[in-house]
């Protein structure tokens, strides 16, 4: 999201100063759509050169107090110089200070209401700052409330603006007012989700799309969003506007049934498909966090690892691998890659590889340092060379799969390649099937118009990974089959007996005729 020419300090502080005209457009749109909102206090918690603060002072002249805080002394000096020439300079209270160390609750408690909080908080993630060894971070806390697997696999990397805006929302929720901010669209949705999920008394939520490339040379979806607190009956919907010229929203998204919905009306048109399916479980592909070691590319008749080294290993632990890019480009009949699958289930002992496939064991030991130094805590206290996202479902011949990254709902049938079941990486989601016919039946259900419309009502395509397991597990496939008049087929497939993992030849030791269920 950052222009690569920016200095490290810009990266650390997410320093994208708002053009004055953009700030004026944003706040004028807010006033036009809500003319009855008349703030008595305006606050910009990270005011920079003051674009939002000054625009707000002009567009809301009834405000008695205009408060700006800024950590960068040169920026603050510029704002003070500009304000000193204004006839209403007595309204302004400009302070040098650190957002993270300011007692905002105390400050807001002394100011007249309604309060309007405006601004453009830093466009930078905690990981970005960590890489730069920067200090512009809040104290560590699991404010996103991630638990278990999510908390230990890196999902908790967050935008600094997300943390800051949640704090803004927390303070303003104790008062009558409005939070109106320019930020990444994904961050705005997270803030609204946080408010709606936690029952914050919000109303009048709006979001306006902006061109971040034009204004900030940043390739990211961005918006100006606003939400009022304690201003009437609580609502959990947000009107989305395509531009500041628009007077009517093009869409409404919201939070219903404990979920974020991208198209509220469309969701309710197909809500009968919502529910947990009793027979089919969505899975993600294999996670190993060491592609250079564990993934092997086919080059001129031989296998090479990510270091460019030629590799000769037994077939026993090698499986054809498909990634998101393969599914996204329709490459499902053959594989460019193979991957080493060291376990049949999470936590299974791996020392048997030494006897069953000595070349494979020697290769893993050769790269033991890389595998042992994998950073994720999921590998801690697990057998050496462990992987995740593996189970009986991994080894079924027939699967229905979809990429988590590609921005289309296309479910594809994937069968065995070179006589072995296909393995996916952890950016792919799958259902396993006992037969080829069942796989094509499931794909028909998932690609049907009712199912597609239902899923589209919950997908936010601007997300980095728009398709997730959480999304897919909301589909009740039996209800889809019933709506399509194919319930008898559904029942016939779920009643099929379990099958062996795959028909092994020399691979009998590894497969061991394990049975699977759909």
Is residue 279 within a helix (H) or strand (E), and if so which, with residue range? none
How many Å from the N-terminal Cα to the C-terminal Cα in the chain?
41
Q: Between 409 and 132, whose confidence is greater?
A: 409
Q: For residues 110-117, give the mean pLDDT.
A: 96
For residue 123, the model assigns a pLDDT of 80
User: pLDDT tens across 270-312, in order?
Assistant: 999 999 999 999 999 999 999 999 999 999 989 999 999 999 9
89-124 b/e with 16+ CB inside 10 Å = b?
A: eebbebeeeebeeeebeebbeebeebbbbbbbbbbb
64-73 b/e with 16+ CB inside 10 Å = b?
A: ebbbbbbbbe
Cβ-based neighbours of 47, under 8 Å, separated by 6 or more: 53, 68, 69, 70, 75, 76, 79, 94, 119
Q: Has residue 45 got a pLDDT over 80?
A: yes
Q: For residues 350-357, give the mean pLDDT.
A: 97
For residue 184, the model assigns a pLDDT of 93
Q: Has residue 505 got a pLDDT over 50?
A: no
217-226 b/e with 16+ CB inside 10 Å = b?
A: ebebbbbbbb
For residue 25, the model assigns a pLDDT of 97
Q: For residues 88-111, give the mean pLDDT.
A: 94
Q: How confident is the model at residue 83 (pLDDT cuts 50, 70, 90)?
A: very high
Q: How confident is the model at residue 127 (pLDDT cuts 50, 70, 90)?
A: low
For residue 252, the model assigns a pLDDT of 98
Q: How confident is the model at residue 236 (pLDDT cuts 50, 70, 90)?
A: very high
Residue 52 phi/psi, 5° resolution? -70, -40
d(CA 151, CA 48): 33
Lowest mean pLDDT among 1-10, 101-110, 447-456: 1-10
Q: Structure pTM?
A: 0.84
Task: List the Cα angle 282/288/289 in 5-degree steps.
Answer: 120
d(CA 39, CA 175): 12
How many CB atoms are closer than 10 A to CB 460? 16
Q: Between 495 and 127, whose confidence is greater?
A: 495
Query: Mean pLDDT score of the chain, rounded to an integer?
Result: 89
d(CA 472, CA 50): 44
Is residue 125 within a helix (H) or strand (E), and if so which, with residue range? none
Give strand pairing partners of 206.
Answer: 226, 239
Q: Contacts from 334-338 at CB under 8 Å and sequence distance 24+?
A: 334/417, 335/298, 335/417, 335/422, 336/297, 336/298, 337/295, 337/296, 337/297, 337/298, 338/295, 338/296, 338/298, 338/303
Q: For residues 161-186, give the mean pLDDT.
A: 93
For residue 233, the model assigns a pLDDT of 87
For residue 147, the model assigns a pLDDT of 47
Domains plus CATH for the chain?
8-261 (3.40.50.150), 283-511 (no CATH)
Q: For residues 234-261, give the mean pLDDT.
A: 97
Q: For residues 245-260, give the mean pLDDT.
A: 96
For residue 514, the model assigns a pLDDT of 41
Q: How confident is the model at residue 510 (pLDDT cuts 50, 70, 90)?
A: low
Q: Between 42 and 147, whose confidence is greater?
A: 42
> Which of 493, 500, 450, 454 lies closest to 473, judged by CA?
454
d(CA 366, CA 385): 12
Q: Which residue has the tokens 């893993």?
A: 364
For residue 232, the model assigns a pLDDT of 78
Q: Has residue 12 got a pLDDT over 70?
A: no
Cβ-based neighbours of 487, under 8 Å, separated by 6 or more: 478, 481
Q: For residues 43-54, give the mean pLDDT.
A: 95
User: pLDDT tens across 194-226, in order?
Assistant: 999 999 999 999 999 999 899 988 888 999 999
Contact in structure between 320 and 303 (CB atoms under 8 Å): no
Residue 403 phi/psi, 5° resolution? -75, 140
Q: How confident is the model at residue 119 (pLDDT cuts 50, 70, 90)?
A: very high
Task: Concatenate the DSSP letters of all residues of 387-450 into one string.
Answer: -BS-SGGGG-SEEEEEESSSSS---EEE--BTTB--EEBTTEEEEEESSHHHHHHHHHHHTSHH
Q: Which residue has the tokens 């927390």?
A: 170
Q: Per the structure block, which two tokens stand in for 364?
A: 């893993």
β-pairing verdict for 318-322 and 337-340: antiparallel
Q: For residues 122-133, give the mean pLDDT.
A: 55
Q: Has residue 507 got a pLDDT over 90?
A: no
d(CA 45, CA 54): 13
Q: Has residue 516 got a pLDDT over 80?
A: no
Q: Has residue 156 got a pLDDT over 80?
A: no
């Amino acid at each position: 999201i950052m222009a690569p020419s920016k200095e490290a300090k810009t990266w650390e502080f997410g320093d994208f100063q708002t053009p004055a005209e953009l700030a004026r457009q944003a706040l004028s749109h807010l006033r036009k759509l809500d003319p009855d909102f008349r703030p008595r206090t305006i606050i910009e918690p990270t005011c920079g050169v003051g674009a939002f603060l000054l625009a707000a002072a002009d567009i809301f002249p009834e405000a008695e107090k205009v408060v700006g805080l800024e950590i960068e002394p040169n920026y603050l000096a510029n704002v003070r110089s500009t304000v000193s020439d204004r006839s209403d300079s007595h309204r302004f209270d400009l302070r040098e200070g650190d957002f993270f160390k300011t007692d905002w609750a105390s400050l807001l408690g002394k100011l007249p209401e309604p309060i309007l909080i405006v601004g453009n908080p830093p466009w930078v993630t905690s990981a970005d700052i960590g890489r730069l060894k920067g200090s512009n971070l809040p104290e560590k806390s699991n404010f996103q409330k991630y638990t278990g697997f999510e908390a230990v696999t890196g999902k908790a990397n967050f935008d600094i603006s997300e943390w800051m805006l949640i704090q803004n929302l927390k303070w303003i929720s104790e008062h009558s007012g409005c939070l109106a901010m320019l930020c990444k669209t994904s961050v705005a949705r997270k803030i609204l989700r946080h408010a709606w999920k936690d029952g914050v008394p919000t109303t009048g939520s709006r979001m306006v799309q902006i061109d971040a490339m034009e204004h900030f040379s940043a390739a990211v979806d961005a918006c100006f969003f606003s939400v009022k607190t304690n201003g009437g009956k609580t609502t959990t919907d947000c009107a989305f506007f395509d531009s500041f010229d628009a007077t009517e929203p093009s869409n409404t998204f919201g939070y219903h049934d404990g979920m974020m919905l991208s198209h509220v009306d469309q969701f309710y048109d197909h809500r009968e498909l919502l529910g947990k399916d009793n027979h089919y479980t969505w899975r993600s592909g294999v996670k190993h966090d060491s592609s250079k070691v564990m993934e092997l590319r086919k080059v001129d008749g031989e296998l090479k690892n990510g270091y460019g080294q030629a590799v000769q290993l037994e077939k026993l632990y090698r499986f054809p691998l498909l990634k998101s890019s393969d599914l996204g480009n329709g490459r499902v009949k053959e594989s460019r890659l193979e991957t080493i699958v060291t376990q049949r289930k999470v936590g299974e002992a791996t020392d048997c590889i030494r006897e069953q496939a000595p070349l494979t064991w020697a290769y893993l030991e050769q790269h033991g340092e890389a595998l042992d130094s994998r950073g994720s805590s999921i590998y801690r206290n697990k057998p050496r060379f462990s992987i995740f996202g593996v189970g009986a479902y991994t080894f079924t011949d027939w699967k229905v799969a979809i990429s988590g990254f590609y921005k289309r709902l296309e479910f594809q049938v994937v069968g065995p390649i070179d006589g072995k079941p296909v393995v996916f990486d952890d950016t792919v989601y799958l259902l396993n099937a006992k037969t080829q016919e069942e796989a094509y039946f499931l794909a028909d259900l998932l690609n049907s118009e009712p199912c597609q419309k239902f899923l589209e009502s919950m997908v936010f395509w601007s997300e980095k990974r728009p398709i997730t397991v959480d999304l897919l597990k909301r589909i009740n496939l039996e209800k889809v089959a019933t709506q399509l008049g194919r319930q008898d087929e559904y029942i016939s497939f779920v009643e099929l007996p379990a099958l062996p993992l795959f028909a092994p030849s020399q691979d009998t030791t590894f497969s061991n005729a394990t049975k699977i269920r759909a």
